Chains A and B, each alone.
Chain A
Amino acid sequence: MPVLPGAAWELSPSVSLRPEPFGALAYDFVTRKLSFLKSPTLVDVVRRLADAADVEDALLGAGVPAAERDRYVAALGTLAASGIIRERVAA
């Protein structure tokens, strides 16, 4: 599922993030899969997703420069494909 800048996403409930100097480890307690987030800024973006209006908002909040937006949206797409983040259902 592609991640659209205008959509709302969040960290999957079965996933925990552990901060590390290079970024973070992401562990899914259900699939027992360990993944790596390779930049502290990406970790910041992921953490902001749940409270942000949409992906765009989370990117802004984390201070991602406009020129790097696409790269971060693509990275979020990878995280979505492995189930680390999921699309938020409107409350």
Chain B
Amino acid sequence: MTIAVERPQGGRLVDQFEYGLDAPICLTWELTYACNLACVHCLSSSGRRDPRELSTDECKALIDEFERMQVFYVNVGGGEPTVRPDFWELLDYAVAHHVGVKFSTNGFRITPERAERLAATDYVDVQISLDGATSEVNDAVRGQGTYDAALRAMANLQAAGMKDFKLSVVCTRHNIGQLDEFKAIADTYGAQLRLTRLRPSGRGADVWDELHPLPHQQRELYDWLVANGDQVLTGDSFFHLSAYGPADGSGALPGLNLCGAGRVVCLVDPVGDVYACPFAIHDQFLAGNLREDGGFDTIWKTAPLFLDLRSPQTGGACTQCSAYDSCRGGCMAAKFFTGLPLDGPDPECVKGNSETALAGDRERPGSSQDHSHTGTVRNAPVPLTLLRTRPVSACDESPLVSQQ
């Protein structure tokens, strides 16, 4: 269905957002699929550069379009965005065109010189990724030496006088117990802590079963977030946890507490594909391509997928639940990549309503793109758990099985 739905006047802001905006508020732009690392949970299955990657001129034209649409800032990621030779040129171009940039990096290339330059540039924010408060926990997920690289980058930023940059953590089963330590690390470097949810997207789908926080850890996380309030950013990641609060929604975490996909959020990938959200890089959530479908403004305003996401959703079985007003059924991408119905509960539903569906037969959609490294990666992570994927057959574990 692609008919425009009439928007109600007035009312709560969150209801207005469900009908979409003239331009996104939170736009993620993955600049490249190239990455010097091979994190086990990479949302975008990054590693190798795609030869169809947008050129420097195409990137600048997109920034011009953001300026015209008054997209005030973009979240730049990858891959590792600093791997692009024109990264710093694009950063300067965006800032000069009133498009602020917050970029995510593993920190390897944040040298003292780069840190100085970043500290001297307005409208730029940096987000350093770290997924363990100790090298043991972090490097198992992100790769050897990545803990040291992240801390070195933070030290460089601090020495350069950069304030309130972000320390960004994906919450896993192995680091939920380290939240206070993460906060302490952030405080040490004058950074702000940002916690986000582990999504079963990209390579994350392969490790989600082993890494996603256990139910009691979700509760621990929620209580910690409530206790730390506005001090900690979450990028609206954990709105599914708001269901721990009372049914009147008063236990909601700071933020919008709604799925913003295609309504206030979207993703532009390195080859110009526009997806509904950064956690939904899959053909099913592809709204169009910048080169083929008339540019970003046209796609944002007229793509059938986006119009559909902005029309009232049914909520399915979840609407019967007392917590529906708090969690709104949770994350669309998390349901999709775990093979759950989109109008049912989130795979991490705190009421336990997805347990039966998760235990039953479900077909995971897999990924529609994969830029993972195929050869050896210098820093390749060695997961704490032995297998990244379940063996498909006994043969995968023992080459002799067919001989027996």
Contacts and interface: CB of A to CB of B under 8 A. Distances in A.
Interface of A: 16, 18-22, 25, 27, 29-30, 32, 34, 36, 38-39
A31 to B, nearest CB: 11
Contacts of B122: 29-30
B76 to A, nearest CB: 15
Interface stretch (B20-28, B280-288, B356-364): B20-28
Given A22-B13, A32-B100, A38-B13, 16 more contacts: A16-B70, A16-B72, A18-B22, A18-B70, A19-B22, A20-B16, A20-B22, A21-B19, A21-B22, A22-B7, A27-B72, A27-B73, A29-B72, A30-B122, A32-B123, A36-B13
A51 to B, nearest CB: 21
Q: How large is the interface on B (under 10, 10 to 19, 20 to 34, 35 or more residues)?
A: 10 to 19
Q: Across chains A and B, which 7 residue pairs bring their CB atoms closest together, nearest first?
A: A27-B72, A18-B70, A22-B16, A20-B21, A20-B22, A21-B7, A36-B13
Given A21-B7, A22-B13, A36-B13, A29 B100 contact: yes
B64 interface: no
B98 interface: yes
A71 to B, nearest CB: 13
Contacts of A36: 13
A32 B73 contact: yes
B125 interface: yes
B118 to A, nearest CB: 15
A22 B7 CA distance: 9
Contacts of B100: 29, 32
Nearest to A28: B72
Nearest to B102: A32
- Secondary structure of the B contact surface, majority rule: loop
B144 to A, nearest CB: 34
Interface of B: 7, 10, 13, 16, 19, 21-23, 25, 70, 72-73, 98, 100, 122-123, 125
A32 B19 CA distance: 25
Contacts of A30: 122
A21 to B, nearest CB: 6
25 contacts: A16-B70, A16-B72, A18-B22, A18-B70, A19-B22, A20-B16, A21-B7, A21-B16, A21-B19, A22-B7, A22-B10, A25-B25, A25-B72, A27-B70, A27-B72, A27-B73, A29-B98, A29-B100, A29-B122, A30-B122, A34-B25, A34-B72, A36-B13, A38-B10, A39-B10
A27 B13 CA distance: 16
Contacts of A38: 10, 13
A23 B286 CA distance: 29
A52 B76 CA distance: 40
B123 A29 contact: yes
Contacts of A18: 22-23, 70, 72
Contacts of B72: 16, 18, 25, 27, 29, 34
Contacts of B70: 16, 18, 25, 27
Contacts of B125: 32
Contacts of A32: 73, 100, 123, 125
Nearest to B20: A21
Nearest to A25: B25
Contacts of B13: 22, 36, 38
Nearest to A36: B13
A65 to B, nearest CB: 16
A22 B100 CA distance: 24
Contacts of A21: 7, 16, 19, 21-22
